[in-house]
Amino acid sequence: MDTWTNFLFLRHGQTDWNLEGRFQGVADIPLNATGIDQAAGAATILARQPIDRIVSSPLIRALKTAAIVSERISIPIDIDTQLIERGFGKLEGLVVNDVKRDIGISLDVPMARHLPPDAEQWPDTVARTQAAIDTWLARCPGETLLFVAHHGLFAALSELLTGHRKEGENGVPYEFQRSGAVWTITKVK
């Protein structure tokens, strides 16, 4: 991470499962109409950025978001399976707040550390995310990279780089910017 440079991150646009507050994980849920509009809006914003490469999760919600951006800025997409969302095991498809009530945790507590054994555990998500970003930044020195992926990866990166978890919004591009040893995450406007 000491050699990491600035990069952009776009969480995929909204899906019906996002709207319903469900665990999506590795379920391949498509964008809804709002998600497609969000991706188009992000593409407009990102067209003003100097992007050299788009790297996307292969899940359809991220890949469609990346495709909308790619079409707008004429940059091809590289697909990386390491950018897939974390698996939630038996919780996939369930409503997050219902699960929180069932296990007795407050609705404002992230589920990251309260998942069943068949889910990808938080330290594994963080390590996988770090390895994926590290690989691409090392492979493409001097390039501005846009990663199109998922909530879990955004949260992992924010915790890894800033020390606290930040919730990324659907279809909103963010810049991860380094100044010395300090990282900031800001919305791209």
114 carries an active-site annotation: no
Which of these is catalytic: 12, 92, 120, 159? Answer: 12
Which of these is catalytic: 20, 71, 85, 114? Answer: 85
Amino acid in the structure at residue 71: E
Closest CA to 54 of 151, 172, 140: 140
150 carries an active-site annotation: no
DSSP the chain: -TT---EEEEEPPPBHHHHHTB--TTS-PPB-HHHHHHHHHHHHHHTTS---EEEE-SSHHHHHHHHHHHHHHT--EEE-GGGSPPP-GGGTTSBHHHHHHHHT--TTS-GGGS--TTSPPHHHHHHHHHHHHHHHHHHSTTPPEEEEE-HHHHHHHHHHHHSS--PPPTT-EEEEEEETTEEEEEE--
Q: CB of 186 within 8 A of CB of 9?
A: no
Q: Which residues are catalytically annotated? A: 12, 85
